[in-house]
Every structure is written in structure tokens, then in C-alpha cells.
Amino acid sequence: MTRVELETFVEGTTHYFLTAANQAASVGSPYLVNEGIPGIQEYTGIITVAGKRKGIVYFTASRPMLTVLLMRLGETEMTHENMCDLVGEVANQISGNARRDFGNEFMISVPRVIAGTPDGAVTPANTRSFVIPINWRSHSASLVVCLD
């Protein structure tokens, strides 16, 4: 991953919160996970990437953050199903927007959602993961980009 490529995901994340939630998020600089695996929160939406690039992009957030985000979207039903739906949709929208720079050979899957701690590693082996920290209101979340 190059710095310019990572910037696509930083911009996509910034654009998502500003447009969908009508409230800017503080999106930090991406950092490389050197040891262990990137952190997972209560809900994680995972997009598998195929084509020119291979790997995954995931968005992971807490239930309180997703609750506020649902409210900002005008949703009234704060159900587990809607939390899962939203966390997948955020991952989908940020990944889909990345095709503006990566092109249509950056093929993305429908979201897969994990609630709670996964059984095994989410990220593929032998591929470096970059974490983009997101602070929005009083909540923290992450976008993890793991592409070959």
C-alpha cells in the first residue's frame, strides 16, 4: 500500500461521516500493525476485495457509536440487525468510493458482518494491515485496510 492509496481511504472515511452523518469525524493518520492483529470492536463490517487488488477492508465500531450514527441517519429502531446492517454499509460505502481512484477492477464483495469477537483472524496472513483511526463525537472506531 502506498501513502497515496491509503489517503483514498482516509478521504473516503472523512467524506462518509461528513455527508451521511452531517458531522465531521477526526480521521487520523494510518499506521501499520507490526505485531499481532488489528483490534476488533463490537460490530465489524468486512468487505472482501478481489480483482486487481486482493485482501479485505473492514470497519469496526462500538454499539454506542453505531446507535448515534443510526440516529443521525434518521433511524428509530436501534436493533442488533440494524447495527449489523449499518456497520456493513459503512464498510461498503467507503470501499465502493475507493473505486473512484482504484478503478472498476477494484472488485468489492457484499459486506460480511461479525458481531463480537471473531473465532479466528479476520485479516489474511502475510498481508500488512493499516489501521485508520476514527474519532467521532466521543466515540472511537477504525477502518482497517489489508490489501496486497
Q: How far is the CB of 24 from another protein (least distance, A)?
A: 13
To the nearest whole angstrom, how small is the minimum distance from the Cβ of residue 83 to another protein? 9
Among 15, 53, 63, 137, which residue sits at the site for another protein (rule: CB under 8 A)? 15
Cell output for 65: 457509536
**For another protein, what does the binding mask look like between residues 44 and 83, x meaning CB under 8 A?**
--------------------------x--xxx-----xx-
CB-based contact 91:47 (threshold 8 Å): yes
Per the CB < 8 A criterion, the answer to whether 32 and 129 are in contact is yes
**CA-CA distance, 86 to 44, in Å (whole number)?**
10
Length of the chain: 148
46: helix, strand or coil: strand
Binding site for another protein (CB under 8 A): 15-16, 19-20, 22, 70, 73-75, 81-82, 85-86, 88-89, 92-100, 102-104, 106, 108-110
